Amino acid sequence: MYLRRVRQRDGYRYLLRDSHWENGSWKCRNLFDLGESPEGFIHYPGGNGFYFSSEVEDALFSQGVKYSAEDLEDAFLPFIKPHIQRVIGGFRRNGSSDSRWRNFSASELLSLQNALHSFDKRRLHFLRCGRVNIGSLDGRPWKFLNVLLGKCRDEIEHVLESMERQLRPQEMRAYLYTALHLQKYFPRRLTRHHPVALDPEEVDERFLQELCELNDDKSFFKGVARNAPGKLHRYLTKYVILYFDNDFEQENGWAEFARQFTWGAQGFSRSAGKASLSIDEACQRLGLTTSDFDRMGRAELTKHYRLQAKKLHPDRGGDHEEFIRMAEAYESLLLKS
């Protein structure tokens, strides 16, 4: 059971939903329309006590829904008063959401987890661990994946969306690079787990390619009504926005580490440069005038850098030292923009 926010013309409304097994797949069903304010269905008699409106429980009863008090608490938790949330959290430290899988054998869990889509498993792994280099998630059961078991596509998206809100903007691209397993397109490059150091246009192309293939993947949308052909599903539309509205280069220190690792591992020597470039010198390296730079925002500067990087990137036959010098100039100007 979960509480789903749904967009409508003049804002949002909230629906109480659950996942149920029907015709060989997990599907979602609407249990109760909570309107714009789920808080209105929670009542506080005093102290840390609370209860839910009888109309909610009557609706669940009339539909034959089997649930516990904890199920309702978990669904409404974000809308319960903060100090009571902390009390509930104190009682839930050992976790109860995946307790139904506790008595399953390792082989049974592995069978269930193998049915999960790789996009879901890779998303969840990054959201929990923040690592681009995930490795294989097959071959053994992983406890952290149990949170996705027994859920329809809509509920899985609900779970992951709540976790995605904790990502910082500069993590968005690395998250999607990892979730869509774009590393597989760069198997022989030392930079495959450091996407900031890859050719940005090639990464963009692979991102769109994988997203379109996922949009046509029937196994991902099992139990879900499909969109019209050629239209990106609403579950995936947000990822185009998140990807192109953010950039790998936001974490300048990490970008520098990635380049040092790359050139050092391949035996390239970096030319000795200044610890801090002047604006004039940095602009010259990027083919800009200082007046051009003064008129540019960060997004325009990044766009210009990408065009230059495409011409000079070593993976496309560019000069290694010149590419490094240009990257240093770009980072220097980012700090001054």
Rounded CA-CA distance 71/231 in Å is 35
pLDDT the model gives residue 263: 43
> Residue 257 pLDDT > 70, yes or no?
no
What residue spans define the domains of the chain?
Answer: 2-96, 101-244, 268-336
What's the whole-model pTM score? Answer: 0.72
Provide the percentage of residues in the chain whose pLDDT is more than 70.
87
pLDDT confidence tier of residue 322, bands split at 50, 70 and 90: confident
Compute CA distances 66 → 70, 71, 104, 147, whole Å: 12, 10, 21, 19
Rounded CA-CA distance 231/15 in Å is 25
Three-class DSSP category at 76:
helix
Token representation of residue 19 = 């996942």
Q: Are 18 and 29 in contact (CB under 8 A)?
A: yes
DSSP classification of residue 269 = P
Out of 164-173, 212-221, 264-273, which region has the weakest mean confidence (pLDDT)? 264-273
Q: Are 127 and 160 in contact (CB under 8 A)?
A: yes
The more confident residue out of 197 and 270 is 197
Out of 75-79, 222-226, 254-258, which region has the weakest mean confidence (pLDDT)? 254-258
pLDDT the model gives residue 43: 95
pLDDT confidence tier of residue 337, bands split at 50, 70 and 90: low
Token representation of residue 44 = 């506080």
pLDDT the model gives residue 192: 81
Out of 39-53, 68-82, 224-238, which region has the weakest mean confidence (pLDDT)? 224-238
Rounded CA-CA distance 28/22 in Å is 10
- Name the phi and psi angles at 94, rounded to 5: -85, -5
Out of 130-139, 202-211, 288-297, 316-325, which region has the weakest mean confidence (pLDDT)? 316-325
Token representation of residue 162 = 């709540």
Q: Are 287 and 308 in contact (CB under 8 A)?
A: yes
pLDDT in tens, 214-234: 999 999 999 988 767 778 998
Provide the percentage of residues in the chain whose pLDDT is more than 90.
47
| Range 162-181 average pLDDT | 93
Compute CA distances 117 → 66, 123, 187, 239, 263, whole Å: 27, 10, 22, 17, 36
Q: How many CB atoms lie under 10 A from the CB of residue 279?
A: 15
User: What is the DSSP track for 297-309?
Assistant: -HHHHHHHHHHHH
pLDDT the model gives residue 253: 45
pLDDT the model gives residue 95: 46
Q: Are 174 and 258 in contact (CB under 8 A)?
A: no
> Pairing state of beta strands 11-22 and 2-8?
antiparallel
Q: 268-336 has which CATH code?
A: 1.10.287.110
